Structure 1
Amino acid sequence: MEEIMGYVHSHESFGTVDGPGIRYIVFLQGCPLRCRYCHNADTWEKNNAKYRETPEQTFKEICKYKNFIQSGGVTLTGGEPLMQPDYVRELLKLCKKDGLHTAVDTSGYFLNDKVKEALEYTDLVLLDIKCIDPETHKSLTRVELDPVLKFAQYLKEIGKKTWIRHVIVPGITDNDEYLNKLADYVKTLDNVEKVELLPYHTLGEYKWDNIGEHYSLKGVAPLSKERLENAREIFRKRGLTIQ
Structure 2
Amino acid sequence: MTLSIDNTKKIDVQTGLIHSVESCGTVDGPGIRFVIFTQGCPLRCLYCHNPDCRHFEDGKTVTVAELVNEIEKYKSYFEYSGGGVTVTGGEPLMQPDFVKAIFQECKKRNIHTVLDTSGYVNLNSAKPVLEYTDLVLLDIKSFDEKIYHKLTNVSLEPTLIFARYLAQINKPTWIRFVLVPNLTDPEHNVRGLAEFIAPFKNVEKVEVLPFHKMGEYKWETLGYDYQLKDTEAPSPELIKKVTNIFKSYGLTVQ
Does the TM-score normalized on the shorter chain lie above 0.5?
A: yes
2:199 alignment counterpart: 188
Amino acid at match of 1:69: F
Q: Does 1:36 align with 2:46?
A: yes
Percent identical across equivalent pairs? 50
Q: Shift of the alpha carbon at 1:3?
A: 5.5
| Cα-to-partner distance string for 1:33-61 (whole Å, 9 max, x where unaligned) | 00001111111111101x21111111111
Amino acid at match of 1:63: E
Amino acid at match of 1:39: H
Amino acid at match of 1:148: T
- Gap regions ≥5 residues in structure 1: none
Alignment partner for residue 118 of structure 1, among 110, 129, 145?
A: 129
Contact 2:13–2:98 (CA under 8 A) maintained in structure 1? no
Residue aligned with 2:252, SS: coil
In 2, Cα distance between equivalents of 1:114 and 1:147: 13
Query: TM-score if structure 1 supplies the norm length?
Result: 0.97
Name the CA shift for 1:207/1:68 in 2 (closer, same or farther; >3 Å): same
In 2, Cα distance between equivalents of 1:38 and 1:120: 28
In 2, Cα distance between equivalents of 1:120 and 1:2: 20
Alignment of 1:1-243 (within 5 A): 2=12, 4-49=14-59, 51-70=60-79, 71-243=82-254
In 1, Cα distance between equivalents of 2:121 and 2:29: 21
In 2, Cα distance between equivalents of 1:128 and 1:140: 13
- Between the two proteins, the alignment pairs up a number of residues equal to 242
Amino acid at match of 2:25: G
- Gap regions ≥5 residues in structure 2: 1-10
Query: TM-score if structure 2 supplies the norm length?
Result: 0.93
In 2, Cα distance between equivalents of 1:159 and 1:20: 19
Residue aligned with 1:125, SS: strand
